[in-house]
Amino acid sequence: MGALKERKLLNALRDYVAAGDRPFLGICLGLQLLFEGSEENGGVEGLGLIPGRMERFDERKGLPIPHIGWNDLKMTSKEDVPPLLSRLGDRRVYFVHSFRATPSPANAEWVAATSEYAGEFIAALSKGKVTATQFHPEKSGAAGLDVLRGFLEGADSSSPAVVSSSSAKRGLAKRVIACLDVRANDAGDLVVTKGDQYDVRESSSSSSSSSSNGTQTPASGSGSSGDVRNLGKPVDLAARYYTEGADEVTFLNITGFRETPLADLPMLAVLRAASERVFVPLTVGGGIREATDPDGTRHSALEVAAEYFRSGADKVSIGSDAVEAALRFYANDKKGDGTSAIERISWSYGAQAVVVSVDPRRVWVASPSSTERPTVKVSNGQRGPNGEEYCWWQCTVKGGREGRDLDAVELAVAAEALGAGEILLNCIDRDGTGDGFDLDLVRAVSSAVGIPVIASSGAGKPGHFKEVFEATRCSAALAAGIFHRHEVEISEVKGAMSDAGIPTRVG
Would the CATH topology of 2-153 be identical to that of 175-499? no
- Most confident of the following: 169-183, 238-252, 371-385: 238-252
pLDDT above 80 (res 87): no
What pLDDT is attached to residue 88? 85
pLDDT above 90 (res 97): yes
Helix (H) or strand (E) holding 145: helix 141-153
The pLDDT-based confidence of 288 (bands split at 50, 70, 90) is confident
The pLDDT-based confidence of 269 (bands split at 50, 70, 90) is confident
Which residues touch 19 (CB under 8 Å, ≥6 apart)? none
> Between these two residues, 230 and 205, which has the higher pLDDT value?
230
pLDDT mean over 101-110:
97
Q: Which top CATH class is 2-153? A: alpha beta
pLDDT above 50 (res 208): no
Show me where the domains of the chain are located: 2-153, 175-499
Cis peptide before 294, with omega less than 30 degrees from 0? Answer: no
* pLDDT above 70 as % of the chain: 85
Query: What burial letters (b/e) apply to 437-453, b meaning 16+ CB within 10 Å?
Result: bbbbbbbbbbebbebbb
> Between these two residues, 224 and 30, which has the higher pLDDT value?
30
Rounded Cα gap, residues 93 and 138, in angstroms: 10
Q: Are 248 and 282 in contact (CB under 8 A)?
A: yes
The pLDDT-based confidence of 221 (bands split at 50, 70, 90) is very low
CA distances from 297 to 303, 305, 340, 493 (A): 12, 16, 20, 46
pLDDT above 80 (res 217): no
- Most confident of the following: 199-213, 247-261, 360-374, 454-468: 454-468
Q: What CATH code would you report for 175-499?
A: 3.20.20.70
Rounded Cα gap, residues 432 and 424, in angstroms: 16
pLDDT above 60 (res 448): yes
At 163-203, the pLDDT tens digits run: 444 455 789 999 999 999 887 766 666 677 754 444 433 33
449 HSE (CA, 13 A, CB side): 33
What pLDDT is attached to residue 232? 64
Give the global pTM: 0.88
Give the active site residues. Answer: 28, 136, 138, 181, 359
